[in-house]
Amino acid sequence: MAQDFRELLKGENPEKVLLSKGHEKRFEAMLNKKMPIEKNSFPWFKVAAIALVLISVSIFGYQYSLDFTGNTINNTSNPIVNTTEKPKPKPNQISLGDLSPDLKKIEEYYLAGINVQLASLKIDNKNKELVKGYMKQLSALDKEYKNLSLELNKVGPTEETITALIDNLKLRLELLFKLKSKINEFKTQENEPSVL
């Protein structure tokens, strides 16, 4: 059975216990005797921790600055398709994200996915031609997206235009997934031993 402790302790008056004289000093001396503080090792931990933090911040700052100078980590300084920036509509034009909060979430989801996939591509001399072919397709889809955005502003928001815009983003993301799959397939074929 559960009892309410507040009811049980309602009438109780706790007694104040006074400690004997010098109790605190004796306790501190006993504590120091049992667990002495090593004063020599403590500053080294601080120095090591500060050095680790400075190195981490330096590495992160260096990679972060590369992204803003145009040289990305995978050394693709001349992107074929500019999907890193959301197209900025003119002041009197509307975009897909301006129509509703749900459409804005969908647009941001697909654009973020596209950017992540583009950033994670590892382009080398062996797969350069394959990537170039896919980037041409992405460029064509990007142009079509811009045309659909113009139609959205001329005609107004229609179900067909909105669906076409979302399908375009979805198709670009699927195309990047296929590209990554082909690159991985290409790598596994290279790594297999040749049988003669």
Contacts of 161 (CB under 8 A, 6+ apart): 148, 151, 152, 155
| 101-119 helix and 159-191 helix, angle to the nearest 10 degrees | 20
pLDDT surpasses 70 at 122: yes
Least trusted range by pLDDT, from 39-43, 44-48, 111-115, 152-156: 39-43
Q: Is the pTM of this model over 0.85?
A: no
Q: What does the alpha-carbon distance between residue 78 and residue 195 come to, in Å, rounded to a whole number?
A: 39
Q: How confident is the model at residue 19 (pLDDT cuts 50, 70, 90)?
A: confident
pLDDT at 41: 53
Q: Is pLDDT above 50 for 1? A: yes
Give percent of the chain with pLDDT exceeding 70.
74
Q: How many CB atoms lie within 10 A of CB 58?
A: 10
Straight-line distance from the first to the last Cα atom of the chain, in angstroms, rounded to the nearest whole number: 81
So what's the pLDDT on residue 144?
Answer: 92
